[in-house]
Amino acid sequence: MRDVSFPMHQPSGRLIQLIDILDRLPDNRWVWVVREFWGVGVAPHDMSMEQFEGLVRAEGRGYALSWPALREFAAQLEQTHDCTIFSVDETESSGGSATAGEERPIVEVRALDSGTWVVSFEEGYFSAESFNGIVARLNFE
């Protein structure tokens, strides 16, 4: 995995949100798995945030979302304190308990202690040109 990290709080005072990161990733049909989440906002599928966070912890394997469902969730977040969300290349994309086994993530997005975002990419999945383009779009300065 190749990592790109940057502060959540930019020198300009702007707070980089999960949706800002997702907006810079290519559209995809991957299954996105929320393995860990602690944040503020509206949870998926009419759950309270407390219910959602508890479900994510209880599942052990994570909570699966399609790309559109992940984007909808991210658009309704006020802030992400800690999270681990990753994608796997599977055809099943309905919300619920993750089906992802031991597959290597294609992309992993982590929020660390309300201070840093880390976006990791599977090295063999993206061409150098595609990877460099994504990294350039992740420059929030």
The predicted-structure confidence for 71-104, as pLDDT tens digits, reads as follows: 999 999 999 999 999 999 874 444 455 444 556 8
What confidence score (pLDDT) does residue 102 get?
57
What confidence score (pLDDT) does residue 101 get?
52
Section 45-65 average pLDDT: 90
The predicted-structure confidence for 5-44, as pLDDT tens digits, reads as follows: 999 999 999 999 999 999 999 999 999 999 999 999 999 9
Report which of 60, 65, 54 is spatially closest to residue 109, judged by C-alpha positions. Answer: 65
What confidence score (pLDDT) does residue 124 get?
86
Cα three-residue angle 35-124-110, rounded to 5 degrees = 25
DSSP-assigned letter for residue 8: S
